[in-house]
């Protein structure tokens, strides 16, 4: 626990110092929601059925943009190699990076929900919807953090990570969209999709923790 706390504090400081990637993700998310609001207003007067897809596509791509840089700077500067030889469990390194990415993305997503509430005139800050957002975010951040480790030493990582992540995250994206629709009182069978989302998140988190020591050594 002490090792995880120490690495987490280091990651949070690094996150603040090198915040250009996260600011780019936040800017992308804001522009996406703003563009969708004008486009959907022109296409239809009833935007509520389309909101789950709008939100999760925005969340997903913002997360991939930001998480892709998780280990890149540390790998370039040799900090990641130093962490691997430090007397800290591999799970502590992964857990700290996961938590720091999760905190930053949740802040972006809450801001997106506030912005979407205003633009689409629909209440999106319910407890149920935020819980679904947190569950889905944990699932895809677990996977993208692992993949960013795999691509940290690859020059074309900006292309590699989306290519690897998007096919794996398709079930999560579908389940999250359907569960979000259920939270918005749309006839989507929300409970079954919420269960699938929880199962996928558990699989993603557990699998990433188990695979990280092997991926980090490559």
Residues ≥6 apart with Cβ < 8 Å to 33: 54, 58, 112, 115, 116, 119
pLDDT on residue 79: 64
What mean pLDDT value characterizes the chain?
79
> What does each C-alpha distance from 40 to 36, 127, 169 come to in angstroms?
6, 26, 25
Interval 105-148: pLDDT, tens:
888 899 999 998 888 888 888 888 899 999 999 998 888 888 87
Instruction: Pick 193 or 150 by higher pLDDT.
Output: 193
Under the phi-then-psi rule, with left for phi > 0, alpha for psi from -120 to 50, and beta for the rest, what region is 186? beta
Per-residue confidence band for 211, with pLDDT thresholds at 50, 70 and 90: confident
Interval 53-69: pLDDT, tens:
889 989 888 887 777 66
pLDDT on residue 199: 92
Q: Is the pLDDT of residue 35 over 70?
A: yes
* Buried-exposed string 159-174: b where 16+ CB fall within 10 A, e elsewhere: ebbbebbeeebebbbb
Helical H segments across 71-156, by residue range? 72-77, 79-85, 90-120, 127-150
Instruction: Pick 92 or 43 by higher pLDDT.
Output: 92
Interval 140-176: pLDDT, tens:
888 888 887 775 555 555 667 777 788 888 889 999 9
Most confident region among 13-17, 90-94, 136-140 by mean pLDDT:
136-140
Closest residue by Cα to residue 120 from 67, 46, 173: 46
Q: What angle do CA 192, 197, 202 make, to 5 degrees?
A: 130
Q: How far apart are CA 177 and CA 188, in angstroms?
A: 9
Q: Is the pLDDT of residue 15 over 90?
A: no
pLDDT on residue 213: 78
């Amino acid at each position: 626990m002490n090792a995880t706390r120490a690495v987490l504090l280091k990651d949070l400081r690094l996150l603040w110092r090198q915040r250009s990637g996260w600011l780019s993700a936040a800017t992308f998310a804001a522009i996406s929601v703003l563009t969708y609001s004008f486009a959907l207003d022109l296409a239809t007067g009833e935007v509520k059925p389309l909101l789950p897809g709008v939100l999760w596509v925005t969340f997903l791509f913002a997360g991939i943009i930001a998480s892709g840089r998780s280990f890149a700077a540390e790998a370039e500067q040799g900090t990641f190699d130093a962490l691997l030889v430090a007397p800290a469990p591999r799970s502590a390194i992964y857990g700290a990076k996961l938590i720091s990415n999760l905190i930053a993305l949740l802040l972006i997503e809450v801001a997106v929900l506030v912005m979407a509430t205003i633009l689409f005139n629909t209440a999106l800050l319910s407890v149920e919807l935020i819980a679904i957002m947190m569950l889905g975010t944990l699932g895809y951040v677990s996977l993208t953090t692992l993949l960013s480790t795999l691509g940290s030493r690859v020059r074309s990582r900006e292309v590699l990570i989306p290519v690897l992540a998007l096919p794996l995250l398709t079930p999560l994206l579908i389940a999250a969209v359907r569960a979000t629709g259920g939270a918005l009182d749309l006839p989507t069978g929300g409970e079954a999709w919420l269960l699938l989302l929880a199962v996928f998140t558990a699989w993603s988190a557990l699998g990433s923790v188990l695979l990280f020591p092997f991926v980090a050594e490559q």
